[in-house]
Amino acid sequence: METSSENQLLETGATLLAQWCQPTENFTENDISDKLDSLASEVRNNLQTTWPQHPVLKATIDVKNVNSDLWSCDQCKMVLDAINRVLFNKHHFQGNKSRYYDINNSYINQVLTLETGIPITLSIVYSAIARRLGIVCEPVNSPSHFLLRWKQDLTNTEEHMYTYIDVFNGGKFLSYGQLPVALNVPESLLNLNSMRITSPVQVLERMIRNLIAIGREQDRMGDNLLCLRNALEFSVLISPDDFEMRLLLVRVNLHLNINLPDVINNLQLIADEDQNRMGLVAYLMNAAQTQMEDSKENKNKKKIKTKTRKKPKDALYSVGLIMKHRRYDYDCVIYGWDSKCEATQEWILQMGVNRLPHKDKQPFYNVLVADGTNRYAAEESLDFNSECCRITHPEIGKYFTSYETTHYIPNNEKTSEYPQDIEMTARLVHEHYHS
């Protein structure tokens, strides 16, 4: 793939990966694009003082359709020099050599905020800024670390056509002949085939492999395990035929005792496609089914406990209220609550609850979501739903008898479990919607 329109996928893919692996961080693709636009604008300002006649200063560039350099070789070099001045002299972007395996180095939002990263994420930032200024910088998965290449001399041989950019080391410009020393690799490992451009999917796959490698280092259980699980889920999404990643995701979910139906579905898929893994699949399938049966047995043994409020802070909301999630914007109805989070420590870490302002030391609510899922939401994440829409969830009839426009009426079993909530719901509905 030789078109720089592919580079657009680099920042988009990096953003999607960062969003997927940081469920408690609130940022959008537009937020990332705005930051890159701002940096590109600073480069223009820098050029204005050094090369006021540069054509990029008066150009309107369609970023998605920059398929080749828009300027002459000398003009492109001026822009690249200005990018280096802004990124590395003004903002002090740098490779995070002291904490290379820090998870944040792999998330583009964190790289733009902290101004540190690893070669691959710094290269994505650099190439995105260059494209905004009409220059194509292509990703190269070199034998040592990730580089960019710029097609400087179209008339020369392939060996001498490109200038390579080492963004991890201050945007240093390198010729092909300088690469062995600069990258500290034997010349025998370096050839034109090893310096080909890398497709966006391959770039994303390498980023995921980096995160999986970090996640496997479980000396600090929690964030690393969350990182591993999120990266594996994303890997399966973009590479559904990678059974090694599916198996690793199965093992993580079994360890956490979560998503057991998905575990069984994944194992069945692997069994259907890869007969060589039947022994391992059968072992893991038996473990999953045993865990599911144990969960059902424990649920059946569990007696219904009456939930009453001893203190006002035990729960601000009540069963039957129609709510909206502040971060994820989903509509839901409350069907239960706990005065503090009752989930396992593994779930708390896996879901990033420890990153919330009040962490797990706050009421948590069982909610039926309009998309058909059941979720466990922190009190600080919920707010009254001004639209009071009907929640079309298959389990509505399991807990409620009717829909009353502003709230739901719980059935006898749910009323027995939360005896104070009918009165409290009526009061809250009146205060919020009718006062």
**Tens of pLDDT along the chain (435 residues)?**
344 444 557 999 999 999 888 876 778 999 999 999 999 999 999 999 999 999 999 999 998 889 899 999 999 999 999 999 999 999 999 999 998 888 899 999 999 999 999 999 999 999 999 999 999 999 998 877 899 999 998 888 888 899 999 999 999 999 999 999 988 888 877 877 778 888 888 899 899 988 888 877 644 444 556 677 888 888 998 888 999 999 989 988 888 777 888 899 999 999 888 888 888 889 999 998 998 888 777 666 656 678 888 877 789 999 999 999 998 888 999 999 999 999 888 788 878 888 899 999 999 999 998 877 889 999 999 999 888 888 888 788 889 999 998 999 999 989 999 999 999 999 999 998 876
Is 300 within the bounds of a domain?
Answer: no
Residue 367 bridge partners (DSSP): 334, 375
User: Which residue range forms the structural domain that includes residue 218?
Assistant: 214-292
Same domain for 353 and 264? Answer: no
Is 299 within the bounds of a domain?
Answer: no
- Strand order across the 138-141 sheet: 138-141, 146-151, 162-166, 172-174
Same domain for 256 and 369? Answer: no
Cα–chain center distance at 31 = 14
Query: Three-state DSSP class for 58?
Result: helix
Query: Three-state DSSP class for 367?
Result: strand
360/128 Cα distance (integer angstroms): 39
Is 56 within the bounds of a domain?
Answer: yes
C-alpha torsion sign, points 10, 16, 21, 23: positive
172/195 Cα distance (integer angstroms): 17
Same domain for 194 and 234? Answer: no
The confidence score (pLDDT) of residue 410 equals 95
Residue ranges with strand state E in 98-243: 116-117, 138-141, 146-151, 162-166, 172-174
Final residue in a domain of this structure, among 201, 223, 247: 201
Same domain for 166 and 247? Answer: no
Number of structural domains in the chain = 3
Same domain for 274 and 182? Answer: no
Is 270 within the bounds of a domain?
Answer: yes
167/111 Cα distance (integer angstroms): 13
Same domain for 223 and 360? Answer: no
Is 209 within the bounds of a domain?
Answer: no
Same domain for 287 and 420? Answer: no
Q: Which amino acid is at 34?
A: D
Final residue in a domain of this structure, among 201, 236, 266: 201
pTM (2 d.p.): 0.68
The confidence score (pLDDT) of residue 154 equals 80
Final residue in a domain of this structure, among 157, 173, 201: 201
Q: Exposure of 255 by Cβ count < 10 A (0-12 exposed, 13-18 middle, 19+ buried)? A: exposed
Same domain for 196 and 65? Answer: yes
Is 237 within the bounds of a domain?
Answer: yes
- What's the distance, Cα to Cα, between the start and end of the chain in Å? 62
Q: Exposure of 184 by Cβ count < 10 A (0-12 exposed, 13-18 middle, 19+ buried)? A: exposed
The confidence score (pLDDT) of residue 2 equals 41
Is 115 within the bounds of a domain?
Answer: yes
Which one-letter DSSP state was computed for residue 357? T
Give tens-digit pLDDT for 76-98.
999 999 999 999 999 999 999 99
Same domain for 169 and 122? Answer: yes
Is 298 within the bounds of a domain?
Answer: no
Which one-letter DSSP state was computed for residue 11? H
Q: Name residues whose C-beta falls within 8 Å of residue 332's C-beta, 6 or more positions apart in sequence.
A: 322, 323, 324, 325, 367, 368, 369, 370, 375, 377, 382, 391
Same domain for 320 and 285? Answer: no
Same domain for 224 and 195? Answer: no
Could you tell me the CATH number of the domain that includes residue 274? 1.25.40
Same domain for 147 and 62? Answer: yes
The confidence score (pLDDT) of residue 221 equals 41
Where does 22-88 have alpha helices with state H?
29-50, 73-84
Which one-letter DSSP state was computed for residue 328? T
